[in-house]
Structure 1
Amino acid sequence: MASLTGSSAIADESDFLQTLSGNWQGTGQVRLKPDAQPMHVSCTLDSRADGEEISMQGACRANVVFSRRIGADLQAQGARYTGSYVGSIRGPATLSGSRNGGTLDLRIRWPARNDTGRTARMQVASLGSGRMRLVTSESHPRSGERIVTARIEFSRK
């Protein structure tokens, strides 16, 4: 019975990751830092799922002011997800978390600076009908208030 439950969980995660697979385009707002003003961005994302793994690679642009590569590599291990994220001026970060319904809820752990690492949150939601949402948030460095640092709505090309 335990092996059937494990196989079912693997199939569930594989099926879910397939909903995030494909070529995507999106628009939204990004803050380069929690205390910066948001800027409008347009993004492309190529996402490929293979079993319990997914690789997302793309770029976001804000006029001529900003262009940044974005990406994540994730692996499902039962109900838990781990992986890495690129897209911040802070450098590559580690991801860990789980899925709740149609949303991956991930903790971002930025590289340590001066022996203190910072954390943030990333949610990747499969919205059905060829839509996906990516939201990141973290605490404002002075006030501690939770600030949305990116919110991008994607649709399949």
Structure 2
Amino acid sequence: MKAPWALCRKSAASPQSLAEAFDWASEPVSKNSHAEGGTCRQGRSLSPRFQPFPRGEAATSRWREGIFMKSAAASLVAAFLLSATAAHADEAGFLRSLQGKFAGNGTVRIRTNSPVMNISCTFTSDATTDSLSLDGTCRAMLIMTREIRADLKTDGTSYTGTYVGSRSGPAGLSGSRYGNAINLGIHWAKIVNGDRDAELTVEKTGPDEMRMTVTDMDPKTGKMVVTSQIDLKRS
């Protein structure tokens, strides 16, 4: 019986064999044998470019490896989607816990080296699954009134938005939540206290309580100073 790879042709005048056309290697692997209408050429081994598909244990191993890689990739995608969904659910729950009307008292400094003034404030907090708006009014010494507003949008635990309440104009906000506190960097529209950067923290301090704190660096000492802090309670 001929080896499966032995190639025959009917005569020397027949067209170039398939083996020659595909450049088999020159090592003979079978003896001459007779074929109908002519003789069989010596079989030639396959070039590495045309080796048969792996069979048996090697084929099974490669098949299992491919299945494993596809399964691992699918697991990673599923884990990412689940974590993203869980993060979104956590933020939605946290934001909605800040929904409502709040009132409270606090302190404010016009500049990092200015005297502290006592203030009283009222806020309305509107929250959705991915946004938070804090709209309030603060009064000092019965004659000074300041409108304060912070509008935030969230993408996972990352927050961006705007802050209105400084005499320099609307400021940009960006940061993230850690635990019960949203920690935000403020970028003022103009230079305030020697630079354009400060920090705002919106913290849930109890089931019905919230604290808003702004800190800025004193240009003379280089230390962070609390320029305003308001403690609010759901009314």
TM range (shorter): over 0.9
2:170 is aligned with 1:92 = yes
Q: Which residue of 2 aligns with 1:69?
A: 147
For 1:88 and 1:66, how far apart are their aligned partners in 2? 14
Q: Is the 8 A contact 1:111 1:117 kept in 2?
A: no
For residue 118 of structure 1, the aligned residue among 186, 189, 196 is: 196
For 1:131 and 1:31, how far apart are their aligned partners in 2? 23
2:87 is aligned with 1:9 = yes
Structure 1: 5+ residue runs without aligned partners? none
For 1:133 and 1:41, how far apart are their aligned partners in 2? 14
For 2:226 and 2:160, how far apart are their aligned partners in 1? 22
Q: Give how far 1:51 is off.
A: 1.0
C-alpha distance after superposition, 1:88-130 (max 9, x if no partner) = 11111000000010000100000145xx951101111111230
**Normalized against structure 2, the TM-score is what?**
0.64
Larger deviation, residues 28-37 vs 116-125: 116-125
For 1:8 and 1:88, how far apart are their aligned partners in 2? 36
For 2:104 and 2:164, how far apart are their aligned partners in 1? 18
Which structure's residues are more often strand, by fraction?
1
**Aligned counterparts, 1:1-157, within 5 A:** 1=78, 2-113=80-191, 118-157=196-235
Q: Give how far 1:33 is off.
A: 1.5
C-alpha distance after superposition, 1:60-88 (max 9, x if no partner) = 00023421000100011112100000111
Q: Is the 8 A contact 2:209 2:232 kept in 1?
A: yes
Q: Give how far 1:5 is off.
A: 1.1
Identity %: 39
For 1:14 and 1:97, how far apart are their aligned partners in 2? 17
Which protein is bigger by CA-based radius of gyration? 2
Structure 2: 5+ residue runs without aligned partners? 1-77
Which structure's residues are more often helix, by fraction?
2
Q: Is the 8 A contact 2:169 2:190 kept in 1?
A: no
Number of matched pairs: 155
**Normalized against structure 1, the TM-score is what?**
0.94
SS of 1:15's partner is helix
Q: Which residue of 1 aligns with 2:21?
A: none
One-letter amino acid matched to 1:106: L
Which aligned runs of 4 or more in structure 1 are off by greater than 3 angstroms? none
Q: Is the 8 A contact 1:131 1:156 kept in 2?
A: yes
Which is bigger in relative contact order (C-alpha 8 A, separation at least 6)?
1
* Root mean square deviation, CA, Å: 1.3
SS of 1:118's partner is strand
